[in-house]
Chain A
Amino acid sequence: MQDLGISILFKGINFQRLLGGLWVTLRLALITIGLSCLFGLLFASLLLSRRKLPRIFCRIWLEIVRFMPQLVLLYIVYFGFARVFGLDLDGETSAVIVFTFWGTAEMGDLIRGALTSIPRHQTESAAALGLKKSQIFLHVLIPQTLRRLLPQAINLSTRIIKTTALVKMINVTEVLKVGQQIIGQFYRQPDAAFWVYFVIFLLYFIICWPFSLLARQLEKRWA
């Protein structure tokens, strides 16, 4: 009797292999999210700078990121940099560079938005109460900024997790590629592909959904 295709996922270490493939993209996403938060702070301070040049520089950066599909940026770094600068980057390094380039701009813009959304009178009232500049920042501005920023930053993080799936296109062995390998091994099982891709779909959902729920919950509570 022929068993259901899903059983191949529990043969040997197939399921662990899939999870291992998923971890490849997740790790890239985590590195990207960390770097994007860090550089995003710098980006936001440049966007809010009094001088014109850094502001224009960041605006252009932001527009590039908004207009170019991430896949095009990946191609530029992965294939183009090797050609122009002789930099032979592997897929994962290119991915971190590209997604951080994108994440920094998006995160920076979110931080800028959160900072500027706080009414001026908050700073002024705090100053009138006699708070020092550092106290104003620590006790008045940062808590309010975080409340606005956190839900949006979490949403951006799930977008980054979903977008890292694109590394499949620059030959990184990630979960879809591992899935193809498993399907290739079990070519006798006609519905193997259905179950493998279905499980990958569910795995992504299981990872991203809790973050979406958390972001919505925080948004509701802090609105």
Chain B
Amino acid sequence: MDGSFILSHVPDYLSGAWVTLRFGLYGVLCSLALGLVCCLLCYFRVPIFHWIAKGYIELARNTPLLVQLFFLYAGLPRVGIRFSAEACAVIGLTFLGGAYMSEAFRSGLESVDRAQVEAGACIGLTAGQNMRYVIFPQALATAIPALFANVIFLIKETSVFSVLAMMDLMNVADTLRTSGGRTVEVLFMLIVAYLLILLPVSLLATLVERRLRYAGFGDQHSV
């Protein structure tokens, strides 16, 4: 292991980590939004749209991100639909993540006690109010562990962005490896970089889950 080599390339890895983190974050945020919309379309059985949402979820969950990215980046421009590499990264990650997030929200919504839904309707809440004040907060509490698992999954998936010629962590490491031949140092730094990104996310997940258990929504925790 060559310490000076490692130290001199810390800035490269920092810029790579920034790309990984930034586009991972964009992807996660867009996935959450898309997931929520799809899940609500299915929950309220909005005519036609809930079929589209279901079809999309099946498509996205049953194909690899790498293949989705190739289609977006190398396939679509040939029929006149052209995106930049950065846009492809965010669209691809959102396409994949939206389906997983939607499933997480769905299992949360399904876990809400029917009595809660009916009670909300009985005191005269509209469907929208019922969702906003009664159902969704409880569903979110149960969905949080799955949502965080998806966040970690999506950040890990960003490692294929190098096929879009983006200088993310993976591509930085690959470039250094082929140019310098210091494979061990390069891979060591790659591991450390991913750990430094993912450990805080995992710690945050544990923290939030612990707080939520205190919250005790509805009667499921009142015993």
Q: Which residues of A contact B (CB under 8 A)?
A: 5, 66-72, 75-76, 79-80, 82-84, 158, 162-163, 165-166, 168-169, 176, 179, 190-198, 200-201, 204-205, 208-209, 212
Contacts and interface: CB of A to CB of B under 8 A. Distances in A.
A177 to B, nearest CB: 11
Contacts of B184: 80, 83-84
B191 A165 contact: no
Contacts of B74: 193, 197
B211 interface: no
Interface of B: 58-59, 61-64, 66-68, 70-71, 74-79, 152, 156-160, 162-163, 170, 173-174, 177, 183-184, 187, 190-191, 194-195, 198-199, 202
A194 B81 CA distance: 10
26 contacts: A67-B152, A67-B195, A68-B156, A69-B158, A69-B159, A71-B159, A72-B159, A72-B187, A72-B191, A83-B183, A163-B64, A165-B64, A166-B64, A168-B66, A176-B67, A191-B78, A192-B78, A194-B79, A196-B75, A197-B67, A198-B75, A201-B67, A204-B63, A204-B64, A208-B63, A212-B58
Main secondary structure of the interface of A (DSSP, over half): helix
A165 B67 contact: yes
Contacts, number: 108
A186 B156 CA distance: 35
A205 B62 contact: yes
Contacts of B163: 169
Contact of A166 (B61, B77, B160, B173): B160
A68 B194 contact: yes
A70 B62 CA distance: 18
Nearest to B198: A67
A194 B82 CA distance: 12
Contacts of B160: 71, 166, 169
Nearest first, the 8 closest Cβ-Cβ pairs linking A and B are A197-B75, A208-B62, A69-B159, A165-B64, A69-B156, A162-B64, A83-B183, A197-B71
Given A69-B157, A75-B173, A208-B62, A194 B75 contact: yes
A160 to B, nearest CB: 11
Contacts of B191: 68, 72, 76
Nearest to B195: A67
Contacts of B71: 197-198, 200-201
Contacts of A169: 66, 160, 162-163
B54 to A, nearest CB: 12
